[in-house]
Chains A and B, each alone.
Chain A
Amino acid sequence: MPVRFLKNASELADVSWESPLPVAVTNAKPVPADTLLIATTNLFPTGERDLLGSTGAPELPTLDACGQYRKLIWFYFREGAADTTYTILARVTDHNGAPLGAGWLTIASGTLPGGANSWNRLEIPDTGDAYYDQYRILVNRTGGSGYYLISKIVGVR
């Protein structure tokens, strides 16, 4: 005896792979956003580094598998006001996660906004949509005293 259910309000259908039982999704996230990264970056040393502290591996992404995200929101709290630059690099990958080519596309760069003990927010990209698979997010303290930069990045689908 097949199990049947009312489909599309009027059609009586057998349960099958093609017409599964309807379900109500519970515990669904109320917003289409995921926390992708929480990291503390030591900016006491100078020199360009990614948010995870990587300095010697220019091909290494800070974030991977981000292809589903329309936009990334970078929240950060900077403990110091020292001049700091940021560079956001992005690229896409093939089905094995391999970049389509070497190097990166620079999608944003500039001076990191905010003073000492300030909260800040940057959208990646600032206009349009993203959908890149990988990002390498670089910061570089170019003057002043060292400090810690505390970041949280949220991906929005």
Chain B
Amino acid sequence: MPKVCLITSNLTRFNKVWTQVLRHLGIDYTLCVATSGGVGATIQTPQGGLAANSTDLRNYFRLFDAVILCDHALTLSETAVINYSVYWLSWNAPEDPPFLFFNPHFSTAITESAYNSNFPSDFPIVRPNPSDLAGTLYAADGGSPSAFTPLFTGAAAARGACVLFLAENIRAHVMTVCNAHGASRTANVVPYYWRLNPTQHSTLANTNYTHRVARNGRAGEILAVPAPPTNPEDTETYPSDCVVAYRYRNIFWLPHTIRSFFDTMNLHSWYTLGNWTPMLFWLLYGLQLAGVRPRYRLPVQMETDHPIESGANTPPFNFSYRQQMEALLAKHDYMREFARRTGTAIIHGVRVGGRHRTTSASFHWQMMYGTGVPADARAVAQQINQLLVAGHREGTTPCGVHDHTAGNFQGGYWLGDVRAGFRRHSGMRYGAPANVPISRGRCCVAPHVLPAGVAPPNALTVQVGDAEMVEWDHTMSGTGDTFDLPLGNIHAARIVIESEIEEMLALGFPDGHCAGHKYTNTAANASGGECYWQALKEFGFRGVRSASACNEPHRTKRVVSNRLWHGFHLITDAGFDLAHPSAGYSRGLYYPDSPSEGDGVRHWQLDHGNDISANWTTSAVAAWRAYRRVVCQGIGNWLFTTAVVLGGFYIHLGTQLMIISLSDPNARFNGWSVQNVIGHPHYNHAVELLENMDAVVRLLSDVLYWGTITDVMDHRERVLEG
């Protein structure tokens, strides 16, 4: 098993994401604590405390596949963060391991003479000077400050970057902050890229060097630079001496990856979104560069909710139902082709309930058969359904039930105490006219203490997890199809789930659980309680996507922290739409007249220093800035979902329906050169996320692969404690 050495001088603020990711990759690690950030620090190892410049420490490091520095500065004015590591910059023999520095602090503010005298004289990156920022660094991503600090970016407030990886010749959108500095440590902080010393680099690049990580056989190698623009509109350019990642002999100088913060990621909900680490790419890339080949690669997969759905056909877009369905058809055609090409399976949560419980045109069944929908639109919806059924059968677009009509209000399992006027299906085991229990009735949860004669002969035995109950005197459904349904019991769960599956069968799907994946994404991420999990298991499900507060907004319950209930997976939800649900649908990357949280920039807090909103109509580069930030946030959150919480990353296709070009719906973003129907930049969320993640997967071929939700659940069982 590969093994790395992690170094930190602040165990309190050591972020558990480091070890969580390594554990999920099957990489062993030893965590060593430096007694300070100064050059005189002792490194506390299992072999004892070793001086930072000692031969003993050097020999100890040679036991590892790589050494990783975990600490970073919050401002370039700091004087001692990882000063002890200066000696390691000269440990360049073939026997020495590669060293991974992320957002390293090497500014000229460091006053320790031992640091400055030992810093390699041929190091090719200019040391940042907090008193001469413009002369030693390049302000990144438009140069505007983040209101907080970009180093603490969580699930929102990303900084944008498109990076060109030179050896791989791949452009990828990955959040990139080499160093950061502001007047305060945590307010108005600007991200920066590094400035190269071209003369020093030229010398290194022409010096032969032998080490297993020197893939070009030279002492110096530029690994990555800001990618040059692809459109003249994009004027955010950087000089040729600007770099974002560099290999100096066996030393990798890489951007920020995981912030110093005391947290663990074993329990996930919207309350901890601020603790996400969306710059994880650089750790994964660093491990790959260092040749630390993980025992396990991580499966990447994406899900959508509501594969057929319509939004408002009102201003500013005025899309007809038919136009919406045609745009959706194009998206699904693309996604099916993408899944075929990469080997992934894109899960779709079919918005069931329309057959029996609602006539809303936004539901799958109603779009296909509802009389309120024009016939020409229904015909296209039926084409989409056929495409989904075919994809379900071939494994590219597995579909499962996703019911917003089961509970009250926005739906989901067990939302509300009683679902008034619940209408069930007909036939099968729990449909009309079968007279079945709809609530618990009288019961005994410990049959071994139930006195004889209390329960009548027709009492039922019900199993929920470990609990075995004897029940009698149930409230029954009668033979009709409509009744008030108490939701918090296994009888209700069985009726609800069977009715959903019945609708899927009527739609032409062979099952309601994504075929062999035996999974679905629950509506509103509300997976209900134990009775629903038990019932889902009875119907063949292996897992569902679920919020931590699993009956939200009822909010009386949380799933357990390992998200396994008697072998049933409760997969962490990670949504990434370009608008908050309250806004109805997305107005695009940015739209000046958008309601609050109605576009990507507003929803994900990406308007740093108002440098998008203030320039949108006057400077074309603002659209490119918005694009970079949205995509970087999305890819970062997706990588976090993949590597840390082993969850389900998802979008709503319909929410992003209006903002695309009708004439070329699957076109890539190209600023104002390709516009949507209201004359703003066209943006296809599904295409951009999948294609940009594909670039990352191709870059990180040792670490990631396009997989399926089955691979995710298999891996959870492999690496999580049951």
List residues of chain A with CB under 8 Å of any chain B CB: 36-40, 42, 52-54, 57, 59-65, 77, 79, 93-99, 134, 148, 150
- Is residue B654 within 8 Å, beta carbon to beta carbon, of the partner chain? no
CB A19 to nearest CB in B, in angstroms, measures 19
Known: A52-B267, A95-B464. A60 touches B556 (CB 8 A): yes
Which single member of B531, B558, B560 contacts A96 (CB below 8 Å)? B531
Asked if B261 contacts A61 (CB within 8 A), the reply is no
The proximity string for B residues 57-76 relative to A, scoring 1 for CB distances below 8 Å and 0 otherwise, is 00000000000000000000
User: Which positions 392-430 of chain B face chain A at CB distance < 8 Å?
Assistant: 414
Q: Which 9 pairs of residues, A with B, have the shortest CB-CB distance?
A: A97-B529, A96-B529, A96-B531, A53-B271, A38-B264, A64-B558, A57-B555, A60-B555, A96-B488
- Is residue B612 within 8 Å, beta carbon to beta carbon, of the partner chain? no
- Is residue B129 within 8 Å, beta carbon to beta carbon, of the partner chain? no
Asked if A96 contacts B264 (CB within 8 A), the reply is no
Q: How many residues of B contact A (CB 8 A)?
A: 37
CB B472 to nearest CB in A, in angstroms, measures 15
CB A31 to nearest CB in B, in angstroms, measures 15
Asked if B556 contacts A59 (CB within 8 A), the reply is yes
- Give the most central of A60, A79, A134: most B CB within 10 Å: A60
B-side contacts of A57, CB under 8 Å: 549, 553, 555
CB B708 to nearest CB in A, in angstroms, measures 29
B-side contacts of A53, CB under 8 Å: 271-272
CB B415 to nearest CB in A, in angstroms, measures 12
Asked if A40 contacts B530 (CB within 8 A), the reply is no
- Is residue B199 within 8 Å, beta carbon to beta carbon, of the partner chain? no
Asked if B12 contacts A96 (CB within 8 A), the reply is no
Which single member of B464, B532, B557, B561 contacts A61 (CB below 8 Å)? B557
B-side contacts of A39, CB under 8 Å: 263-264, 267
CB B501 to nearest CB in A, in angstroms, measures 21
Asked if B561 contacts A97 (CB within 8 A), the reply is no
The proximity string for B residues 254-275 relative to A, scoring 1 for CB distances below 8 Å and 0 otherwise, is 0000000111101101011011
CB closest chain-B residue, reference A91: B556
Q: Compute how far the CA of A127 lies from the CA of B490 in the bound complex, rounded to whole angstroms.
A: 36
The A contact surface, by secondary structure, is: loop
A-side contacts of B554, CB under 8 Å: 59
Known: A54-B271, A57-B549, A148-B262. A96 touches B489 (CB 8 A): yes
Q: Compute how far the CA of A97 lies from the CA of B38 in the bound complex, rounded to whole angstroms.
A: 52
Asked if A40 contacts B275 (CB within 8 A), the reply is yes
- Give the most central of B16, B262, B275, B556: most A CB within 10 Å: B556
- Is residue B167 within 8 Å, beta carbon to beta carbon, of the partner chain? no
Known: A40-B263, A57-B549, A77-B12. A65 touches B271 (CB 8 A): no
Q: Compute how far the CA of A95 lies from the CA of B555 in the bound complex, rounded to whole angstroms.
A: 16
B-side contacts of A94, CB under 8 Å: 488
CB A39 to nearest CB in B, in angstroms, measures 7
B-side contacts of A96, CB under 8 Å: 414, 464, 488-490, 528-532
Q: Compute how far the CA of A93 lies from the CA of B264 in the bound complex, rounded to whole angstroms.
A: 27
Q: Compute how far the CA of A67 lies from the CA of B524 in the bound complex, rounded to whole angstroms.
A: 27
CB closest chain-A residue, reference B469: A95
Asked if B549 contacts A38 (CB within 8 A), the reply is no
Asked if B263 contacts A95 (CB within 8 A), the reply is no
A-side contacts of B12, CB under 8 Å: 77, 79, 150
Asked if A52 contacts B271 (CB within 8 A), the reply is yes
Asked if A150 contacts B262 (CB within 8 A), the reply is yes
A-side contacts of B80, CB under 8 Å: none
CB B561 to nearest CB in A, in angstroms, measures 7
CB closest chain-B residue, reference A79: B12
Which single member of A63, A95, A134 contacts B530 (CB below 8 Å)? A95
CB A5 to nearest CB in B, in angstroms, measures 27
Asked if B557 contacts A64 (CB within 8 A), the reply is yes
A-side contacts of B275, CB under 8 Å: 40
- Is residue B696 within 8 Å, beta carbon to beta carbon, of the partner chain? no
A-side contacts of B505, CB under 8 Å: none
Q: Compute how far the CA of A64 lies from the CA of B549 in the bound complex, rounded to whole angstroms.
A: 10
B-side contacts of A59, CB under 8 Å: 554-556
Which single member of A62, A65, A95, A150 contacts B467 (CB below 8 Å)? A95
6 new A-B contacts, CB < 8 A, other than A39-B264, A61-B558, are A38-B267, A61-B557, A62-B558, A95-B530, A98-B556, A134-B557
Q: Compute how far the CA of A146 lies from the CA of B326 in the bound complex, rounded to whole angstroms.
A: 53
Q: Compute how far the CA of A62 lies from the CA of B554 in the bound complex, rounded to whole angstroms.
A: 15
A-side contacts of B263, CB under 8 Å: 38-40
Q: Compute how far the CA of A94 lies from the CA of B486 in the bound complex, rounded to whole angstroms.
A: 14
- Is residue B352 within 8 Å, beta carbon to beta carbon, of the partner chain? no
B-side contacts of A37, CB under 8 Å: 267, 561
CB closest chain-A residue, reference B492: A96
- Is residue B445 within 8 Å, beta carbon to beta carbon, of the partner chain? yes
- Is residue B704 within 8 Å, beta carbon to beta carbon, of the partner chain? no
Interchain Cβ contacts under 8 Å between A and B, 26 examples: A38-B16, A38-B266, A40-B275, A52-B269, A52-B272, A53-B271, A59-B554, A59-B556, A60-B555, A60-B556, A61-B556, A63-B558, A64-B559, A77-B12, A79-B12, A95-B440, A95-B530, A96-B464, A96-B488, A96-B489, A96-B532, A97-B529, A99-B556, A134-B557, A148-B262, A150-B12
A-side contacts of B553, CB under 8 Å: 57
CB closest chain-B residue, reference A97: B529
CB A34 to nearest CB in B, in angstroms, measures 10
B-side contacts of A36, CB under 8 Å: 561
CB closest chain-A residue, reference B553: A57
Q: Compute how far the CA of A93 lies from the CA of B557 in the bound complex, rounded to whole angstroms.
A: 10
- Give the most central of B464, B489, B554, B561: most A CB within 10 Å: B561
Q: Compute how far the CA of A11 lies from the CA of B50 in the bound complex, rounded to whole angstroms.
A: 61
A-side contacts of B531, CB under 8 Å: 95-96
Q: Compute how far the CA of A150 lies from the CA of B15 in the bound complex, rounded to whole angstroms.
A: 12
CB closest chain-B residue, reference A152: B264
CB A52 to nearest CB in B, in angstroms, measures 5
CB closest chain-A residue, reference B417: A98
CB closest chain-B residue, reference A66: B560
A-side contacts of B272, CB under 8 Å: 52-53
B-side contacts of A97, CB under 8 Å: 529-530, 556-557
CB B213 to nearest CB in A, in angstroms, measures 35
Q: Compute how far the CA of A52 lies from the CA of B264 in the bound complex, rounded to whole angstroms.
A: 11
CB closest chain-B residue, reference A53: B271
